[in-house]
Amino acid sequence: MRSLLAVRYLLPLAVFVGGFVLYAIEPNSVGLDGLVMATGAALSILLLNLLFRAGMHGDRERVQEQAARDYYAEHGRWPDDTR
């Protein structure tokens, strides 16, 4: 679980901080380009993690729906039906 949090949050933070380090080393257009590229890379990592988590949420809903359909096929009623 810790490695998952590291990839989700610490990796983008490290890339972002690395951009500031580049700018501190080279405070000219090269450092500024490095800062901008590192910021874009960090945001890309965050957004890819968000999209992956959203996709996994949809898979979970499909599995629950299939389980409810299987229950209906076996018992003739939906699982949340109180009859």
The domain ranges of the chain are: 2-54
Q: What whole-number distance in Å separates Cα of residue 34 and Cα of residue 16?
A: 10
Burial of 18 (0-12, 13-18, 19+ CB in 10 A): middle
Q: What is the mean pLDDT of residues 60-65?
A: 83
**In this structure, what token pair is assigned to residue 37?**
């590229």
The proportion of the chain whose per-residue pLDDT surpasses 70, expressed as a percent, equals 99
Is the pLDDT at 55 greater than 70? The verdict is: yes
DSSP structure class, residue 76: S
Per-residue model confidence (pLDDT) at position 58: 75
pLDDT band, very low/low/confident/very high, at 20 (cuts 50, 70, 90):
very high
